[in-house]
Amino acid sequence: MGEVEMSHVQTLVERHHADPEALVEILRELNQQSGYLTRETIVAVAEALRLPVSQVFSVASFYSMISLAPVGRHVIRFCEDAPCHMVGGRQVWQALEAALGIKFGETTPDGEWTLLPTSCIGLCAVGPVMMVDNDVYGNLTPEKVPEILARYAGGAQ
Amino acid sequence: MIRARVLVSSDPVSLSRGAEALKLALEAELAFYGLEDEVQVGFAGQLGRQDALPMVAVYPEGVNYGPVRVEDVPYLVQEHLYKGRVVEHLRAAPEALTGPLARLPGREGALYAQRRVVLRRAGAIDPTSIEDYIAQDGYFALGKALTEMTPAQVLEEVKQSGLQGRGGAGFPAGLKWSFVAREKGPVKYVVCNADESEPGTFKDRLIIEGDPHAVLEGMALAGYAIGASEGYIYIRGEYELARERLDQAIRQAEELGLLGEHIMGSDFSFHIHTHSGAGAYVCGEETALLDSLEGKRGIPRVRPPYPAAKGFRNRPSLVNNVETLANVPPIILHGAAWFRTIGTPRSPGTKVYTMLGDVNITGLVETPMGTTLREIVEVYGGGMKGGKAFKCAQTGGTSGSIIPASMLDVPMDFASMAEQGASLGSGALLICGDDTCIVDLMFVLLRFFKAESCGKCVPCRLGTTRIVEILEQLRHGQAKPEDLAQLEQLALSMQTLSFCGLGQAAAVPILTGLRHFKAEIEAHLQHQCPAGVCQFQTLKPAAPAPRRIAMGVR
């Protein structure tokens, strides 16, 4: 872990007044910035908050918005819960796997894409829904998938 | 003198499509015509269906435009706001006005008036403006309580109103408040449960995004009634816009002395903090929520002691859902008797539903308690989509009951639904047409619970896994008759033995599905799927995709 990241953990922890109650929020914010948490980050947070490393790891591994493994440059989170499933989610799911050539839970070999399932994100009125990084796409059809993915190809965003 | 208001939709989709640039363009163009003092521009929550976003609503006429691009702004301002002519070609199609917030007042084609209590301001005011909220009776209830009522009177009013918790269980809110009120202080907490994670439910998000101050005012009233001076809002991590709205609203209210120390010059002080989750369905369970709020894994606690006695930081805590709290200001302002004129005697007030699935109009509706499912589907949902026949509905989200057509005329309130062995739950209504396969539906529902089970207790952790296996076999024609018996036995065990509501409720769709659609499920043993959904090919060796985003060592 570099100096920058270390001081970053420090800053973030201080902003939350080194309050152990803020652990979930601190981990989530760190995850938002770097996509996933390394072992070094977990240890740094534990030290800054004076908590056992095991406890920080336990919390980090519990929440779905915190990742402990590297992810691709873009992360797709696709909802296939009942409301989205009812309106064609299954077909979009298959289209995503076909377009990226990977299964859910995997990252493309070039490190561009990670395809993850997510639980309901509360946008069911426009299902099927997915999030690409922080962008939301609704009313998805298999036909729209390649077009949306193309927007992220080649350095854009 | 303001003669017109222009509201730009500012839900996440609209923002991603440049709603902020649109608002700036509108302001610049209005300034060009010298109209900046006459026409006010603001943000609204979500105004319509996604294909019409971003939308622009012009009041008082109630004309909705959408989708509006920045390039459309000069013409729109010139024609409508300068010359007073509606720009027909930019108007949102009538069906686009049926989106997540169905039928605002003033909308074209608004045939049926909804009775709005909770959502009366959502979409009609700028949620980023506290002045808008105050102009529509905002913080009047708090003022009335602090100047004219004792805490006991506020509590009594909520008790008399018959308000029930809108998070799903329908527990009488006044009673819950009184449990905390009678605990000895000095430190108590009001906790707002905004961890809305039930699939198919997004009412709380739209309440917060459209009218955040209503939640804050409800919390302050609760704090006054039970003797708490601090409130926490636990909001699910995915709801970033909602959290921003709340943080901004808290700052605004503190600046005006409507929150913080000595509110309105009284002896009552109340501070509200927000806290984001990080993705875990179980945190909607109130004791798991409290653990998560303390920075821990969200694992349900042993009860008793209940949160009313030992909750957040082991202090007496009142945990209420967003919609419950948003009901409180109107109750205090207009009185319990007024509230009881809405809804049914056993369940007064309104209910906000999210209607999804095979209906023509999906989205949010608020109707009086006791409205039948048939009325909601036919009137507010605009009937079944594509001429499909109604097969079943799941009420209350993924943990809700699957109910057949024979129950279409049951009044939807907590008590009537319970008498029919069904639950009203969080207010999600998943309407399924005749091309829905019950086995497939149950599989999708239980796959969710399998992913979200926290793993603390055996019935839920293993029960959900085993049920998903059986349903997967059923879908592929590989189940045996004894598997059906085991399915029911597992569900009963989960319902009776699970540690918390998650596991208990996960059994509900299985048990109600078996009760009402047994023949269809049994047909799958004979390799027949009456709805034609299941493909009876051989089961692939690959396990279903993992559902957790966390990928750490387990």
CATH of the domain at A110: 3.40.30.10
Task: Give the list of residues 6+ apart from residue B435 with CB closer than 8 angstroms, or none.
Answer: B388, B531, B532, B533
Q: What confidence tier does B169 reach under pLDDT thresholds 50, 70, 90? A: confident
Which residues in chain A touch residue B436, judged by CB atoms under 8 angstroms apart?
A: 86
pLDDT tens digits for range A18-70: 999 999 999 999 998 888 999 999 999 999 999 999 999 999 999 999 999 99
Nearest to A126 among B50, B358, B394 (CB): B50
**Contact between B50 and A57 using a beta-carbon 8 Å cutoff:** no
Q: Are residues A54 and A79 in the same domain?
A: no
Average pLDDT, chain B: 89
Q: Quick one: which H or E segment has residue A113? A: strand A113-118
CA B442 to chain A, closest CA, distance in angstroms equals: 9
Nearest to A67 among B50, B100, B550 (CB): B550
Of A41 and B44, the structure prediction assigns the larger pLDDT to A41
The distance from CA B347 to its chain's CA centroid, rounded to whole angstroms, is 18
Tell me if chain B has a CB within 8 Å of the CB of A104. yes
Q: Are residues A95 and A132 in the same domain?
A: yes
Predicted confidence (pLDDT) at residue B17 exceeds the cutoff of 90: no
Helix/strand/coil for B143? helix
Q: Are residues A53 and A80 in the same domain?
A: no
Interface with A, mutate which of B281, B391, B444 (most A CBs under 10 A): B444
Q: Are residues A93 and A133 in the same domain?
A: yes
Which residues in chain B touch residue A60, judged by CB atoms under 8 angstroms apart?
A: 550, 552
Of B184 and B552, the structure prediction assigns the larger pLDDT to B184
Q: Are residues A90 and A27 in the same domain?
A: no
**Contact between A122 and B202 using a beta-carbon 8 Å cutoff:** yes
Of A19, A40, A62, which residue sits at a domain end? A62
Angstrom distance (rounded) from CA B150 to CA A110: 65
pLDDT tens digits for range B363-372: 888 888 998 8
Q: Is B35 exposed, middle or buried (0-12, 13-18, 19+ CB in 10 A)?
A: middle
pLDDT at A123: 84
pLDDT at B551: 41
**Contact between B444 and A85 using a beta-carbon 8 Å cutoff:** yes
Predicted confidence (pLDDT) at residue B34 exceeds the cutoff of 80: yes
Q: What is the pTM of this model?
A: 0.84
Classify residue A127: in a domain, yes or no.
yes
Average pLDDT, chain A: 90
Give B72's DSSP letter: G
Angstrom distance (rounded) from CA B123 to CA B171: 29
Tell me if chain B has a CB within 8 Å of the CB of A111. no
Nearest to A61 among B281, B432, B554 (CB): B554
Angstrom distance (rounded) from CA B352 to CA B363: 10
Integer-rounded Cα radius of gyration of chain B: 24
Q: Is B535 exposed, middle or buried (0-12, 13-18, 19+ CB in 10 A)?
A: exposed
| Beta bridge partners of residue A118, listed in sequence order | A79
pLDDT at A106: 93
Q: What confidence tier does A2 reach under pLDDT thresholds 50, 70, 90? A: low
Q: Are residues A109 and A145 in the same domain?
A: yes
CA B31 to chain A, closest CA, distance in angstroms equals: 32
Q: Are residues A53 and A114 in the same domain?
A: no
Classify residue A84: in a domain, yes or no.
yes
**Contact between B238 and A28 using a beta-carbon 8 Å cutoff:** no
**Residue with tokens 């070094």, as numbered in its chain:** A40
**Range of lowest pLDDT (A69-73, B223-227, B245-249):** A69-73
Q: Are residues A86 and A135 in the same domain?
A: yes
Which residues in chain A touch residue B545, judged by CB atoms under 8 angstroms apart?
A: 103-105, 117
* CB distance B174 to B163 below 8 Å: yes
Of B244 and B102, the structure prediction assigns the larger pLDDT to B244
The matching CATH number, chosen from 3.40.30.10, 3.30.450.40, 3.30.470.30, 3.40.50.970, for B4-98 is 3.40.30.10
**Contact between A125 and B356 using a beta-carbon 8 Å cutoff:** yes
Tell me if chain B has a CB within 8 Å of the CB of A133. no
pLDDT at B116: 81
pLDDT tens digits for range B74-127: 999 988 988 888 898 898 877 666 544 433 333 333 334 456 888 888 878 889
Q: Are residues A35 and A95 in the same domain?
A: no
CATH architecture of B444-526: Up-down Bundle (1.20)
Provide, rounded to the nearest whole percent, the portion of chain A with pLDDT above 90: 71
> Residue range B44-61: average pLDDT?
80
Domain range holding A57? 3-62
**Residue with tokens 């949102």, as numbered in its chain:** B92
Of A120, A93, A89, the residue nearest A105 (C-alpha)? A93
Which residues in chain A touch residue B238, judged by CB atoms under 8 angstroms apart?
A: 65, 121-122
pLDDT at B545: 52
pLDDT tens digits for range B126-165: 899 999 999 999 999 999 999 999 999 999 999 999 999 9
Q: Which residue in B has a C-alpha nearest to residue A26's C-alpha?
A: B295
> Residue range B510-527: average pLDDT?
94
Q: Tokens for B230?
A: 């601090």
**Contact between B549 and A24 using a beta-carbon 8 Å cutoff:** no
Helix/strand/coil for B61? coil
Provide, rounded to the nearest whole percent, the portion of chain B with pLDDT above 70: 93
Which of B96-110, B372-386, B401-415 is modeled with the greatest confidence?
Answer: B401-415
> Residue range B5-10: average pLDDT?
87
Classify residue A155: in a domain, yes or no.
no
Nearest to B278 among A28, A103, A118 (CB): A28
Q: Are residues A108 and A41 in the same domain?
A: no
Angstrom distance (rounded) from CA B235 to CA B13: 19
pLDDT at B550: 44
**Contact between B237 and A65 using a beta-carbon 8 Å cutoff:** yes
Q: Tokens for A72?
A: 């691709």
**Contact between B13 and A124 using a beta-carbon 8 Å cutoff:** no
* CB distance B78 to B86 below 8 Å: no
Which residues in chain B touch residue A63, judged by CB atoms under 8 angstroms apart?
A: 237, 277-280, 298, 550
In order, the DSSP letters of B25-60 are HHHHHHHHTT-TTTEEEEEES--S-GGG-S-EEEET
Tell me if chain B has a CB within 8 Å of the CB of A124. yes
Q: What confidence tier does B375 reach under pLDDT thresholds 50, 70, 90? A: confident
Q: Are residues A52 and A82 in the same domain?
A: no
Nearest to A67 among B99, B295, B549 (CB): B549
Longest dimension (CA), chain B: 77
Domain boundaries of chain B, sorted by first residue: 4-98, 130-340, 350-433, 444-526
Q: What is the dihedral of CA A151, B202, A32, A150, to 10 degrees?
A: -10
pLDDT tens digits for range A7-21: 889 999 999 999 999
Q: Which residue in B has a C-alpha nearest to residue A123's C-alpha?
A: B202
CATH 3.30.465.10 assigned to B350-433 = no
The matching CATH number, chosen from 3.50.50.60, 3.60.15.10, 3.30.565.10, 3.40.50.11540, for B130-340 is 3.40.50.11540
* CB distance B24 to B63 below 8 Å: no
Angstrom distance (rounded) from CA B371 to CA A30: 46
Q: Are residues A51 and A82 in the same domain?
A: no
In order, the DSSP letters of B351-409 are EEEEEEESBSS-EEEEEETT-BHHHIIIIIS-SBGGGPPEEEEEESSTTSEEEEGGGTT
Predicted confidence (pLDDT) at residue B297 exceeds the cutoff of 90: yes
Helix/strand/coil for B95? helix
> Residue range B48-77: average pLDDT?
86
* CB distance B512 to B421 below 8 Å: yes
> Residue range B497-501: average pLDDT?
94
* CB distance A27 to A56 below 8 Å: yes
pLDDT at B367: 87
